Amino acid sequence: MGRAARATGVSALVLLVAAGGYATADAVDLVPGVLTLAPVPPPPEPFPTAPGAVPAPDLAAALPALDDAAPVPAAGPLAQSVAELVTDPRVGPSIGVVVADLLTGEVLASHEPEVPRTPASVAKVVTAVAALSAIGPDATVRTSVVRGGEGQIVLVGGGDMMLAAGQGDPTAVNGRAGLADLAEATARELTLAGTTTVRLAVDDTLFAGPALSPTWDPSHLVNGFTAPVTSLAVDIAKTRSDVEYSPRQADPALSAARAVADALAGYGITVEGEPVRGAAPADAVRLASVESAPLGEVVDFFLHTSDNAITEAVCRQVALDAGLPGSFEGGTEAVLAQARALGVDTSGARLSDCSGLGDGSALPTTTVLDLLRLVTDPAHPELRGVAVGMPLAGYSGTLADRFTRSSAAGLVRAKTGSLSGVTSLAGTVVDADGRALLFAVLADATPPGGQPAPRAAIDAFVARLAACGCR
């Protein structure tokens, strides 16, 4: 055999041996390949059923339904509790009280319920009822930018005083609509039209009359109790975000316009000069707009926080819906008229504003009781947001720091009211037998010393209602 043939044979043998070795290695899974000596795996389990395809179990109620068979408390013990409250020196000599059964509406105990008294922020319940019944909880208001005169655009206020200076937050009530979003959309439209320089006006004519009530103390702007009521504002016209009661801007509409001008600059649009006031043309072309939170959420906000300016802005929306001027006079007339249309007895009732901040408002406790009957009536589901929107004792809103050491915590939902010489509270309470009661207390001649003493007396009275198994 020649040398070349031997070389070829050796090479073939090497390849064959190598191939056999690789096959062996493949069979024992030492190298990649299709051969294996491992046992055959069992068939896979069936693919699990998607959870979304499985019928969900029935939801359990977060709270048990009220038991209509629970005993109604006897009138005698309730009358004794009312008598103890009205003779308590901490509440002063002028006080109206009423306690009624929620399911039947029957008055169980009272003291001078027909006498009109200063309600303070309990007046916000009238505004809440009127807004949700007349306009509806799903309504929103729009802040727009439209074309004005030659080279001009106009920022038009639609009644939203809770605009964000930056981007809007879809989960927020205060700040749902953002001026940065409005500016971005406006800049896009202007750029498409070949416009890069504009003049900016602001139209805040939706609301009429003075922005500040003559019944308000001028110091209220500085101490943060309210703001000028305008058809647009950033963050309720607050100048600070690090304090609960921030001083407010003197001109919220122009301040909002400046925020829009600053935002436009960031999107390549130059605003010449300072923003000025100017009415939008009746047939103006809208460039962009943003929407507020729904009215139901706004009402919940002002009931929880007792914000005066937002209450007044909503009040003006009720007036405009009724065809009246969006002013203090138009608003107060509209909300009382709407309450009367719902069957509320407004005899003796008068409002100087819709928030209860100013001097001159008066409501009988019978009027407040009628409002409470309405918001807890199953025949008026559109008003249920008022009943559940009021602060919860010991947990939320203006009642978060009250009833904290009381067994009534979590059992009382009520609207608070506080002015110099005035302390009020009205809402619902569940007693020890599980019976739901309505109550209203208006004390408008409390002694000097501020809120602690009259609040303690009224809270103790309501706690007695909660503890009552009165037979």
Report yes or no: 397 and 391 within 8 Å, Cβ to Cβ: yes
What's the CATH fold of domain 143-293? D-tyrosyl-trna(Tyr) Deacylase; Chain: A; (3.50.80)
Comma-separated ranges of CATH 3.40.710.10 domains in the chain = 75-136+298-467
- φ, ψ of residue 135 to 5 degrees: the values are -100, -45
Report yes or no: 308 and 235 within 8 Å, Cβ to Cβ: no
Q: Which two tokens stand for residue 98?
A: 């009423």
Helix (H) or strand (E) holding 202: strand 197-203
Report yes or no: 209 and 328 within 8 Å, Cβ to Cβ: yes
What are residue 437's DSSP bridge partners? Answer: 101, 429
Number of H helices, E strands in the chain: 11, 13
pTM above 0.95, yes or no: no
Per annotation, catalytic residue among 144, 231, 292, 306: 306
Please give the radius of gyration of the chain, using alpha carbons only, rounded to the nearest integer. 34
Phi-psi region of 159 (alpha: psi -120 to 50; beta: other; left: phi over 0): left
Comma-separated ranges of CATH 3.50.80.20 domains in the chain = 143-293
One-character DSSP codes across 270-330:
EEPS--EE-PPPTTPPEEEEEE---HHHHHHHHHHH--HHHHHHHHHHHHHHTTS-SSHHH
pLDDT in tens for each of the 471 residues of the chain? 444 443 344 333 333 334 444 444 444 444 444 444 555 566 766 655 555 555 655 544 444 567 778 889 988 999 999 999 999 999 999 999 999 999 999 999 999 999 999 999 999 999 999 999 999 999 999 999 999 989 999 999 999 999 999 999 999 999 999 999 999 999 999 999 999 999 999 999 999 999 999 999 989 989 999 999 999 999 999 999 888 889 999 999 999 999 999 999 999 999 999 999 999 999 999 999 999 999 999 999 999 999 999 999 999 999 999 999 999 999 999 999 999 999 999 999 999 999 999 999 999 999 999 999 999 999 999 999 999 999 999 999 999 999 999 999 999 999 999 999 999 999 999 999 999 999 999 999 999 999 999 999 999 999 999 998 777
Catalytic (active site) residue 415: no
Residues 402 and 395: their CA atoms lie apart, in Å, by 8
Residue with tokens 């959309």: 185
Per annotation, catalytic residue among 81, 110, 121, 255: 121
The DSSP letter of residue 436 is E
What are residue 238's DSSP bridge partners? Answer: 248
For 342, half-sphere exposure in the C-beta direction (CA atoms, 13 angstrom radius) is 29
Residues of 376-412 as b/e, b for ≥16 C-beta within 10 angstroms? bbeebebbbbbbebbbbbbeebbbeebbeebebbebb
Per annotation, catalytic residue among 110, 124, 255, 292: 124
- CATH number of this structure's domain 75-136+298-467: 3.40.710.10
- Alpha-carbon dihedral 400, 406, 410, 416, rounded to 10 degrees: -50
The DSSP letter of residue 363 is B
Report yes or no: 372 and 428 within 8 Å, Cβ to Cβ: yes
